[in-house]
Amino acid sequence: MSSYLLLHGWQNRRPAEHWQSLLAAQLRERGHRADHPQLPDPDAPSLPAWLDALDAALARLRADGAAGERVVVAHSLGCLLWLHAAGRDRGAGRGAGAGAPVDRVLLVSPPGLAVLAGIAEVAGFAAPRVDAGQVAAAAGSTRVVAGGDDPYLPDGVAHGVLRPLGLAHLDVDVVPGGGHLDLEAGYGDWPSALAWCEDPSVRLVPRP
């Protein structure tokens, strides 16, 4: 049994038909633990409030006693939340970088930094101070997945997110026609996300 933490994005209230909600249910059916918390004020999110909520969720993840892996699956703004947490001062004793790394992280559809900076409600998430060493300290491995035609990534995930942060080395899957990998794009049940959760060698591909 492994433990999973699913982090949603901006304006997301965990609709039952979203792939993250379905994934949480599927993982529980297989005997895993899956925490999919509602982050506060999703329409006008506060980075400090979301970081506090992440701290609480990570504490639950560490305390649940499961013998398997600890895995984080973040979508959209949840990806930037994770990167902000990883970049915090590890000496402060808080968050993902506070000496209690998870085993794996999947960052799905991280929005472009320039795009976020231009949206008042989420501009505070746009500039995480994080480097490759901090990302590596926060998780044993990190995979990034993005749609090849994501409207929030007009320059692509490499140019829009990873290179500006010095994270171009991260493993990336590009999903053709995936858009923002959200309900508007038809995601919905996503079998390869479930497959990756149970086998990190699986590549993320379009839903059938």
Per-residue pLDDT tens for 150-193? 999 999 999 999 999 999 999 999 999 999 999 999 999 999 99
Residue-range domain boundaries for the chain: 3-198
pTM of the model: 0.94
Residue (of 84, 126, 109, 87) closest to 9 by Cα position: 109
Distance CA 165, CA 173 (A): 18
The listed CATH number (1.10.167.10, 2.40.110.10, 3.40.50.1820, 3.40.50.300) that belongs to domain 3-198 = 3.40.50.1820
Q: Encode pLDDT of 53-63 as tens digits.
A: 999 999 998 88
**Would the CA dihedral through 149, 200, 74, 50 be positive or negative?**
negative
Residue 41 confidence class, pLDDT cut points 50, 70, 90: very high
Q: What is the pLDDT of residues 110-133, one digit of tens each?
A: 999 999 999 999 999 999 999 999
Tell me what pLDDT residue 100 has: 53
CA 187 to chain centre: 15
